[in-house]
Structures are given as C-alpha cells and as structure tokens.
Amino acid sequence: MHLYDETSIQILEGLEAVRKRPGMYIGSTDSRGLHHLVWEILDNAIDEVLSGFGQEINITIKEDNSVEISDEGRGMPYRKHQSGRPTTEVIFTTLHSGGKFSDSGYSVSGGLHGVGGAVVNALSQFLVVTVHRDGKIFRQNFADGGSKIGDLEEVGTTKKTGTTVWFKPDPSIFSTTLMNYDLIKERVRESAFLIKGLKIVLTDERNKQTETFQYFDGIKEYVTFLNKTRKPFDEVHLINDKHEVNGHKSPIQVEIAFQFSESYSEVIISFVNNVRTKDGGTHEVGFKSALTRAINEYARKYNMIKEKDDNLDGVDIREGLTAILSLRISEDLLEFEGQTKNKLGSPDARTAVEQIVFENMLAYLEENLKVANHIITRSINAKKAREAARRARDAARSGKSRNKKEVPLSGKLTPAQSKDKNIVELFLVEGDSAGGSAKQGRNRHFQAILPLRGKVLNTERASADQAMRNEEINTIIHAIGADFGSDFDLSKMNYDKVIIMTDADTDGAHIQVLLLTFFLRFMRPLIEAGKLYIALPPLYRISRKRGKKEDAKYLWTDDDLNQVEDLSSYRIQRFKGLGEMNSDQLWDTTMNPETRSIIQVTLDDISEAEQKVTTLMGDNAQIRREWIETNVDFEVSDDFEVIKEGV
Ligand code: TSJ
C-alpha cells in the first residue's frame, strides 16, 4: 500500500507540473496553445490509423467548446499496468508513459510522444475517455486538471473497437477557450491529404456544420487543391521512390507531387513523417538543387541556353511551381534544426531527394517536351524580367535614370524624426484624406506615414518587373529600404513595424489583401519576423453627457454595440472611414501603442494564407467577391493573430 501511495503522489506531481508551466508542454496558453490540445489528441488518433487500425476519425466541436475525438482503432489497452492500475488511467495521469506507443521504426505524427493524453488531461476542466475493446465499453472521468472522478468502469457491450476522448480545456489556464473551426479544418485537411484514404469527419455543433475529408490520391490532390485558382499547364506529376541508406534498416521514402502553373508564385510545402517542416531543410534543398540541375541539363542539351550563357537560376525556374514533399524517415536518421525545430537537418534526406528527383525529372522532361519547353521559356523570361527590374532599381538608386517610369515617385512619405530602426513604425494608409488625419494624429518622433492612392497592384498576377514599375509598390519598397524578392535583407529595414491602416469596409479589406499578397511574395521574411501588422480602427464612437463631462467609448464590432446597456441614451457615431475620425480620435484608437489594437500577421500556415491569397487575388473575381462579402470583418481571420496592445 505504501508503494501505491508513493506512485499516486508522483503522478499528481506530474500533472501539477504541467499546470504550473503549461508553456513548457504546449508552448503557450493563448489560442495557439489551446489548439495544441486538439493536435495532441488528434495525433494520437492518427497514429492508430498509421499503425494500420481503423480508417476513420471523427472530431466534434461541441456547443461549450469542448472537443470529442474518436477513432476506430484497437481501443486503448485497459488491463492492469505494472503499477497495478488500468493502463488507460496511467496514460492519462502520468507524464512518463511515452515511448511505448511507437514500435514501427518510423516515428509517426508529431506530438509529445505518448504523453499527450496526460498533458491534455492536466489542462482540461474535464476529460472523458471511452474505450471499445474485447466486446466491452469502458469509461473513465477526470476533472479539474486531471483528478480522477472515479475508476475505469465497464459501461456496456459493443461489437466495435476504438478510442474516444472528450475534453474541455480549462478556462483558468487558457486566455481563450474558443475553438477555431477553420484552423482545425486546415489541420484536418492537411492530415487527410498526407495519409491516403484516411477519412476525417469534422463537425461543429455550435453552428451545425459537418465536413468530410478523404483523399485517395493523397498529395497529388493537395497540389490540385492549392492550384485550384491558378492556371496549370500540365497534369500533377508524382514522384514516389525509396532511397537506401548504408547501415540503416529502413530506407528514406520520398513522395513528391508538383505542378507548374502560369502564376508567378512559388509554393513548396514539406513534411517529414507527416509533420510539417515549416522552415524547410535538407529535403527542400535537395529538391531545389535537383530541379535546377535537371532543367539546366535539358535546356543545354536542346540548345535552349547557349554554351556561353549562364545557367538558369533556381528562383526563375520555380516561378509558378507548386510542390508538396512528403518524406518518411526512420527515427535514427532524423535531425532537426533551428529554434523551433521546424527545419530538417538530416544530410541523407538531401541526398535521397536529390538523386530521386534528378533522375525522375530528367525522364519527365524528355517525355513531356512541350511542358519542358514552356517551363524553360518561362524561366528565361523570368530571368530577363528580374535583370530588368534590377537595372531599373540600380538606376533609380543612383539617380541616373531619365526614364520617368523607372524613377520612384516617392516624396509622399512623411518620415519620422527618429532614424532608430528599433522603434520607427511605417503606416501604409489608404487614401490621401486618411493620410492627412494620420499625419496630424501620429507621434512624429517614431511614426512615418505613407498614403496609398487608389488600389494597390495585384502582385499575384504581375511579374517582379511589373510590380517593380508600379508606383505604389515601388514607393513601399523604397520606404522600407531593404530591397525585395530574393534580395530582400531584413537587417536593412528602416522600420520596426509596418502597419497597414485601411477603412473597416470592403474596399479596405481588399487593399489589405492586396498588400498582404505583395508582402507574402516579395518580402516574406518581413512577415516571418513578425514585423507586419494590420491596424484596427473602431467602427463606432458612442457618447453621452454625464453632468458636465462627456462619457465616450469606442467600439470595434456590431456585437460590442449590441451589448451596450441602455444604448438609447447614447449618441452613436459610425465611422465610415478613417477620414471621418479627427486626428486625436485616430491617435487614441488606432495609432497610440498604449491604447490601440493591432493584428500581427503571422504565417502560421503558409498553405492556408497562400490559398486565401490566390483565391482572392487570382483570376476568379466571383470567388473573390464572395469571400470579401462574407469576410468584411477581416480581423477575425484565422491565420492572423490579434495582439491587443495596451488596454
Ligand atoms: F491522446 C490520447 F491518448 F488521449 C488518445 C489516444 C486519444 C485518442 C482519440 C485516441 C488514442 C488512441 C490510442 N487511439 N488508439 C490508441 N491505441 C493504443 O493506445 C493502443 C492500442 C492497442 C495496443 C495493443 O498493443 O494492443 C497498443 C496501444 C498503444
């Protein structure tokens, strides 16, 4: 009995540690951390599918923002563990049950290696696990951070097998407990693309919607999906091969789907063992280098580039490329790099991808001469355009150009007094009149204003050269001062923050998207460094007399307005645009770092952002109109995180 007590104390301490420092286990306690709980449970269910048991997973977001995830696998083991307690209970109450989940050689989907259940339990208001196994149904309940409500109980009989976990994140831990359907949907769709045949049914009981994700063509369909709004000039091509590594049991499995389109953007998304490698790594390097080598070899063979000419550059070849890389690598060959470990470091992955892609690509080009010629013609043009843009830029820099088109017509910029790159902010402001208010309202010491006239160029459908010649774009590039495209140099930026400030209406949303498209394509590192923001001007000002004083409030949404008590006693002012605010109001609500709210644009999910941007910016005006009409409240968009400053 003494032993048992000791173990149970240890266990309590284990979960207590998670509650004391949730950040250590799930990164943060904001919306991102909240969804981490969902990923943990989902990854466990997916692992069971990958082990070969069950093909279907159900996820339900309930009305109270609790989440239920179930699989049709073997059902968690429930018999007595060596500690004397049911294995199920051990899984949800100890942090040291990791390891025994994986026995396949390949480490499967990410996560906390088997301690996910306990971590989620520790951070939940309640958790219920139900196991269908051996013809019986077992259930156990936990509450308030993983405390046992009772023992594992047999609650019925069944013909099915599988595991169901229902949990509700603890509101005393998380700053928000609102489940984001779109975010979960993106993740679910990604998993369904990566694991052929896996069926995931996602239900949201808050607004009664259900969507099913299942792709029998895997990453091939992923590419088709990403290129939905682009104009591909060939079928999706699939490479699927193994590469043996000396002295290692399991080969590296390389699966790549790609397609070229008439778009100018390059989209490469990579995964290792079904986990996204957001920062790329050796597999992407191998892919790019093989592609560049194969195209150049082919182009020389058919005299599309002359003997004396330089090779085509990788960046030019990849214009219009959409590619998904999915590798399976055994644990012993896995290396990750970087602060967030999102970058693959394994040297063998580079060799494997490079060899497989080079051979496959050469054969592909020889068999598809028309496509090959088109890719090469396009990259020759891209190279010319890039060189022309560079010449124009250099000329503009040295002030030698006499060509009006090539001169940056800036001069509209109202600079800040300070030149301190660590504090200065650049506001990109819609329209001259709002620009005027912003100039008046700003803190001139550290805030610069650049008014933008009319619509910004749609850079999804423009070449780098065209973009460069566009006056607004050119002015932005010059103001930021860090060049653009492959020459972009974050350390040269003149500003600490670039803040997009538009009216809170449809046109404003459109301008935001156009600017996001531009930054995504030409200054991505600026976004990655967290330096791009969207200002949130309020929609309403309400005020009433209190004796001699005026009692005034700003409101950001219609919901806020409807929640005001005794609204009829207020005077309500609706701001149709930034220009309707006086400079003090603009400063207080939108520009003053102490009191404003701004959105930091993050690239949590590049594929999602990219998809959105192409959908919005591609040729399909209908889709764009629909999207904007349903998303006029742009600030609640999923891939952008709202940062409340001050207040
Ligand atoms: F995260 C979690 F632990 F809470 C969780 C685990 C959540 C969900 C929705 C599913 C699962 C889960 C675990 N599904 N399936 C399993 N499988 C096992 O734990 C299992 C089953 C059978 C055997 C066996 O050897 O018979 C071994 C294991 C590890």
Cα angle: 223, vertex 224, 226; to 5 degrees = 65
CA of 191 to the centre of ligand 1 (A): 18
Taking residue 257's Cβ as centre, other Cβ atoms within 10 Å add up to 24
For 542, what's the count of Cα atoms within 13 Å in the CB-facing half-sphere? 17
With a 6 Å cutoff on the Cβ, whether 435 touches ligand 1 is: no
Distance 205 CA to ligand 1 centre (A): 25
Name 324's bridge partners. 257, 269
- How far, in Å, is the centroid of ligand 1 from the Cα of 161? 11
Out of 42-51, 171-180, 209-218, 537-546, pick the least confident: 537-546
User: Structure pTM?
Assistant: 0.74
Better pLDDT: 460 or 486: 486
How many angstroms is it from 134 CA to the middle of ligand 1? Answer: 14
- What is the 21 CA–ligand 1 centroid distance (Å)? 26
Q: Is 117 in the pocket of ligand 1 (CB under 6 A)?
A: yes
- What is the pLDDT averaged over residues 417-444? 90
Ligand 1: nearest atom to the Cα of 69 = 9
Tokens representing 138 are: 């077992």
Q: How far is the CA of 163 from the centre of ligand 1 (A)?
A: 7
Q: Is the pLDDT of residue 345 over 90?
A: yes
Mean pLDDT of 154-165: 97
The 3-state secondary structure of 119-164 reads HHHHCEEEEEEEEEECCEEEEEEEECCCEECCCCEEEEECCCCEEE
CB of 98 within 6 A of ligand 1: the answer is no
pLDDT at 407 over 50: no
Q: Name the least confident of 90-99, 247-256, 615-624.
A: 615-624
Question: Which of 121, 46, 135 minimizes the C-alpha distance to 89?
Answer: 121
Q: What is the pLDDT of residue 265?
A: 82
- Catalytic machinery residues: 430, 503, 505, 507
Question: Taking 60 as the threshold, does the pLDDT of residue 154 lie above it?
Answer: yes
**Does 560 score more than 90 pLDDT?**
no
From atom 18 of ligand 1, which residue's Cα is the shortest distance away? 76
Is the CB of 77 inside a 6 Å radius of any atom of ligand 1?
yes
Cα angle at 367 between 366 and 372, to 5 degrees? 60
Pocket-testing residue among 39, 40, 42, 44, ligand 1, by greatest number of atoms within 8 A of Cβ: 44
More confident residue, 547 or 621: 547
Nearest Cα to Cα of residue 63 among 171, 205, 165, 203: 205
Work out the average pLDDT over 79-92. Answer: 89
CB of 56 closer than 6 A to ligand 1? no
- Predicted local confidence at residue 390, as pLDDT: 74
Q: Decide whether any atom of ligand 1 lies within 6 Å of the 163 Cβ.
A: yes
The answer to whether the CB of 73 is under 6 A from ligand 1 is yes
Q: What percent of the chain has pLDDT over 70?
A: 84
SS3 state of residue 496: coil
Nearest C-alpha neighbor of 221 from the set 198, 243, 205, 204? 198
Mean pLDDT for the stretch of residues 32-37: 94
pLDDT given for residue 575 in this prediction? 86
Q: What is the mean pLDDT of residues 399-408?
A: 45
Ligand 1 pocket, 165 CB below 6 A?
yes
Tokens of 615: 């959908």
**CB of 162 closer than 6 A to ligand 1?**
no
Site to substitute for ligand 1 among 163, 165, 167, most atoms within 8 A of C-beta: 163
Atom of ligand 1 nearest to the CA of 43: 1
Domains of the chain, start order: 6-213 (3.30.565.10), 219-385 (3.30.230.10), 408-537+594-644 (3.40.50.670)
